[in-house]
Chain A
Amino acid sequence: MTMEQSTALAPASRAVQLLGTDLSEKNLKLHLEGLSGVDAVGLEARAAALATRSIKTSSKVWALDTIIRLIDLTTLEGADTPGKVQSLVAKAINPDPSDPTTPRVAAVCVYGDLVADAVEALGAAHGSGGPDGIAVAAVATAFPSGRASLAVKLADTAEAVAAGADEIDMVIDRGAFLAGNYGKVFEQIVKIKDACRRPDGTSAHLKVILETGELNTYDNVKKASWLSILAGADFIKTSTGKVQPAATLPVTLLMLQVVRDWYRLTGEKIGVKPAGGIRSSKDAVRYLVTVAETAGEDWLDPHLFRFGASSLLNDVLLQRQKLQTGHYSGADYLTID
């Protein structure tokens, strides 16, 4: 199968640049299979070693604030309502009412049909994720399973973008990936990327969720990361949060190694987003250390690294208060959302 359509698409320019203009499934497969393997024991040992860094005093203060700045505050429940989204947005804008110096989170992450509610609730606080304001991220493409036709996925994406989503969190077709049908996965990403374009020519940022818990091996994670980047991903993201295991430190380390390698090869920076299962500040600090010591400190920026999390924020706020007051408060001193 020749992917003529893909080659014609602008977002696939990375693949064309790396693999040549005769982009074909065979070509892509050869490239992915030529990547050096991952030794699971060694990868996990490295992650465990990074997790022993001791982040104290001034470093801890900075780390806690940075974690908040990097959070995609998320609600992805069947029971989500406009009211729930409003409440989430209020928390995103003002995480700790007792301390106005608390930074804001990077984005709120919701289902596509609630994007408009999130945009409205944010009002003037809406921005592109960073100092200028909180972004709205929408999960799309038949999240979380991705089991729908391409037409449905494209429509899902286009609607969310039209409703004002700044970022689209898509899922890859894990079935196609595991069946070895890399071309199909690639083409879908390219097309979703295209569907992220707005009429004014700008584009919503595309985060590609690999669902590493279903890919199962580190070699697969590496291939899927590389494939997603070639297809045009702005971010590669570990998980939907609906499958266990979700984000783990070794998987995130591996994805950071891939974006570091991509940067070394092309000078282009791709973002990484671990999502699901990161609940404590201690855990999140380990991710910061891993980012800084793998991809580099430049990546500790909302445009290059995010935490997909919901309960993490309150634990960080608890630790932040503890650093300021010298004692722990309790759950009742933090707002539930």
Chain B
Amino acid sequence: MEMYVLLGFVLLLSIFLGLELISKVPSTLHTPLMSGANAISGIALVGALMLSSTGQMQDILAFGAILFASINVFGGYLVTNRMLSMFKKK
């Protein structure tokens, strides 16, 4: 239970940090920021890799989680990069 208290603390601090970091973003970057953050939410891939393999059902669930998180990660980063490469100052 101590572990949860500690990690809960990390959770809260990270949220506050996130709020501070992003409170002043120019509206030009709203879409890339959203899409970049979306790619980061693909971190669920790490969670998917940590799953256990104790039967067929668990393997199917793990495969699904890895598959969809990977789509999120690869697609998210690539689309963000494509978008950002269009933003140019002449």
B is a partner of A: no
Which residue numbers of A lie inside 8 Å of B, CB to CB?
none
Which residue numbers of B lie inside 8 Å of A, CB to CB?
none
